[in-house]
A and B are shown apart, each in its own frame.
Chain A
């Protein structure tokens, strides 16, 4: 075996998903010695932490990694999760990434001149660590969940697989980003009466001017916008995932669609009092904000089409009807009468850094970093929303970020030791 399960090495990559493998590709290209530690199998989250019907939100042609792209016969289709797993596993095999599967990192300690990475299979010393363990390890569930009556089943989107997990009857789906809308729609079609609690969200058509919205955003340069050019990067990084589904069956997966299929639309779940769920009266404004933002995005695409001279390559500009908000808002819902049998939390995810040295984290437990370069020298992170570019959290966003970070890492390793190979290359 080239690398044992422990020892001393230049670089450790934590996580063998698309981001960790893209990093490994560039490290290998620079002959930087490294291993990729993976708690489960390659593409583990894609294998085990997604619901059954999920398809990628990006079309197949956009699924690409450094020196690797989709080669099937349906470039405009959307991959199922098993297809994503196959795509990433094939990449790992093709690049010969030095992955140690079944190796769970239990702690990373920042030491003088490097790190100690402890795993359930032994300890490593290394000079740099790249955290590629994903942005969606843990569900975010609001504290108000504790007040849900005990006889109502609660499930997070991370645990949800299919409608059979839920008892018959009404479901309260909390959250209206891609996850909440897709699951609300699936549950409704499975015969459940769905109430959807809607907070701030991002509305977007699947197809605009005859093209996939991802194609439009890519062509207009929106997906390549850099983190250091964003007006308010902290805010941009918190923007919820757009209301999309990997399907061309309808232009929108939005509140209008859910409502037309019979869902009851309510505001953000604001509290639970006396066994009643209370919903915010801000629904009109969150819908107005989403419509305004969508129209700004579409206007930016129109502007690009006009200026780039590609207006003839796309269909004419379109306008879409605004979100319809019920005339009379649902402000409360009795949770004790038996109408609601389950609550599905689609209220977001967060990364799990419980194993990472506090020195690397801010007061809210997020890695302190500048475009992926940690405040602790030698520590890097990849695969988070808008890490370096708007596309950073997408599979196709990993390549550019990985190249940038490995460039920086190589320089940093080079300045730290005169014997570094990377110095010779210059």
Chain B
């Protein structure tokens, strides 16, 4: 291992990740994960979603603690604004996923990060969800993600980090590609 490799620390345990990659190549069943969330309606547009358990590596797993996300709509929608809108949570998911990927790829490429800041924007025409114009989609008409990154690397290497992070991102894939969604009622 070179000196450069030792000194770079983005807080990512790349050895563990690479080890997991190798182990799961040989045991692909262990790679099958299921992520879960539970949502309870509170009142109006206000809901609380919690996550705790998930399945992976062949058995039930659990977060260290339960995490809770409250979602609501803002006051301009005549709501109480008790939390972020669900679409903002989607932006948070995309930002968290891409930024985690940037840190992991940077560690793997021996690039020391000093600061990473993402600014996200999702455009939306409310004529879709309000049913005013059926040609307008409900969701974002586009998402813009802008990164400001301070790192020990050339401009091109930083661009490559960001590109590679998108290539390996789960949320980027979920947003850019269709997903089969099944909704059932008890």
Interfacial residues, chain A to chain B (CB-CB below 8 A): 200, 267-268, 270-271, 273, 278, 280-282, 285, 288-289, 292, 295-296, 363
Give the distance in Å from the alpha carbon of A285 to the alpha carbon of B147 in the complex: 14
B82 adjacent to chain A (CB < 8 Å): no
B28 closest partner in A (C-beta): A363
A271-B177 contact in complex given A282-B172, A363-B28, C-beta closer than 8 Å: yes
Bound Cα distance A363, B28 (Å): 10
Shortest distance from the beta carbon of A239 to any chain B beta carbon, whole Å: 13
Minimum CB–CB distance for B18 against chain A, Å: 10
Contact A282 B178 (CB under 8 A): no
- Indicate which residue in A270, A271, A289 contacts B163 across the interface (CB closer than 8 Å): A289
Quick check: A282 and B166 within 8 Å, CB to CB? yes
Are B176 and A282 in contact, with the CB atoms below 8 A?
yes
Give 16 new A-B contacts, CB below 8 A, not counting A200-B167, A270-B176, A281-B177.
A268-B177, A270-B177, A270-B178, A271-B178, A278-B178, A280-B176, A280-B177, A282-B166, A282-B176, A282-B177, A285-B167, A288-B163, A289-B167, A292-B156, A292-B159, A292-B163
Tell me, in angstroms, the Cα distance from A271 to B180 when the chains sit together: 10
Contact B156 A295 (CB under 8 A): yes
Verify B163–A273 contact, CB threshold 8 A. no
- Given A285-B166, A363-B28, are A273 and B178 neighbors across the interface (CB < 8 Å)? yes
Q: Which residues of the partner chain A approach B159 to less than 8 Å between Cβ atoms?
A: 288, 292
Interface residues of B in 160-186 (CB under 8 A from A): 160, 163-164, 166-167, 172-173, 175-178
CB-CB nearest in chain A for B176: A281
Measured between alpha carbons, how far is A295 from B156 in the docked complex, in Å? 9
By a beta-carbon cutoff of 8 Å, the part of chain B in contact with chain A is 28, 156, 159-160, 163-164, 166-167, 172-173, 175-178
Contacts of A295 in B (CB 8 A): 156
Cβ–Cβ contact A285 & B163, under 8 A = yes
Residues of B within 8 A of A281 (CB): 175-177
Interface on chain B toward A: helix, strand, loop, or mixed SS? helix
| Contacting residues, chain A, for B160 (C-beta < 8 A) | 292, 296
- Could you tell me the distance in whole angstroms from the C-beta of B10 to the nearest C-beta in chain A? 19
> A363 to chain B: which residues have CB within 8 Å?
28
A-B contact pairs, 13 of them (CB 8 A): A273-B178, A278-B177, A280-B177, A281-B175, A282-B172, A282-B176, A282-B177, A285-B163, A288-B159, A289-B163, A289-B164, A292-B156, A296-B156
Q: Give the Cβ gap from B131 to chain A, nearest Cβ, in Å.
A: 19
The 7 A-B residue pairs with the shortest CB-CB distance in the complex, in nearest-first order: A281-B176, A270-B177, A271-B178, A285-B166, A282-B176, A289-B163, A278-B178
Closest chain A residue to B175, Cβ basis: A281
- Give chain B nearest CB distance to A300 CB in angstroms: 13
Q: Bound state CA distance, A425 and B174, in angstroms?
A: 61
Q: How far is the CB of B14 from chain A (nearest CB, A)?
A: 13
Find chain B residues with CB under 8 A from A273 CB.
Answer: 178
Given contacts A282-B166, A288-B159, A363-B28, contact A267 B178 (CB under 8 A): no
Which residues of chain B are within 8 angstroms of A282 by Cβ–Cβ distance?
166, 172-173, 176-177
CB distance from A345 to the nearest CB of B (A): 18
A283 to B159, CA, bound (A): 16
Closest B-chain residue to A278, C-beta based?
A: B178
Complex: chain B residue closest to A363, CB-CB: B28
When chains A and B are docked, how far (Å) is the Cα of A200 from the Cα of B168? 12
Nearest-neighbour CB distance to chain B for A279, whole angstroms, equals 9
* Shortest CB distance A27–B (Å): 34
* Distance from B125 Cβ to chain A, minimum over Cβ atoms (Å): 14
Q: Which single residue of chain A is at the shortest CB-CB distance from B165?
A: A285
Residues of chain B within 8 A of A200, CB atoms compared: 167
By beta carbon, the residue of chain B nearest A329 is B142
Q: Residues of A contacting B175 with CB < 8 Å? A: 281
Enumerate chain B residues within 8 angstroms of A280, measured Cβ to Cβ: 176-177
Could you tell me the distance between the alpha carbons of A289 and B172 in the complex, rounded to whole angstroms?
A: 15
Contacts of A278 in B (CB 8 A): 177-178
The distance in angstroms between the C-alpha atoms of A280 and B156, with both chains bound, is 25
Report how far A271 CA is from B177 CA in the complex, Å: 8
Residues of A within 8 A of B173 (CB): 282
Q: How far is the CA of A95 from the CA of B13 in the complex (A)?
A: 55
C-alpha spacing A289/B156, complex, angstroms? 11
CB of A103, distance to nearest CB on chain B (Å):
37
Q: How far is the CA of A281 from the CA of B137 in the complex (A)?
A: 15
**Nearest CB of B to A328, in Å:** 9
By beta carbon, the residue of chain A nearest B180 is A271
Residue of A nearest to B179 (CB): A271
Give Cα distance in the complex from A292 to B177, angstroms: 23
Measured in the bound complex, the distance between the Cα atoms of B163 and A268 in whole Å is 16
The chain B residue with its CB closest to the CB of A289 is: B163
Chain B residues in 8 Å Cβ range of A268: 177
Chain A nearest CB from B149 CB (Å) reads 15
Q: Specify the chain B residue showing the minimal Cβ separation from A272.
A: B178
> For residue A295, which residue of chain B has the nearest CB?
B156
Q: Which residues of A contact B177 (CB under 8 A)?
A: 268, 270-271, 278, 280-282
A94 to chain B, nearest CB (A): 44
* Smallest CB separation, A143 vs chain B (Å): 12
Chain A nearest CB, measured from B17 CB (Å): 13
B166 contact set on A, CB distance < 8 A: 282, 285
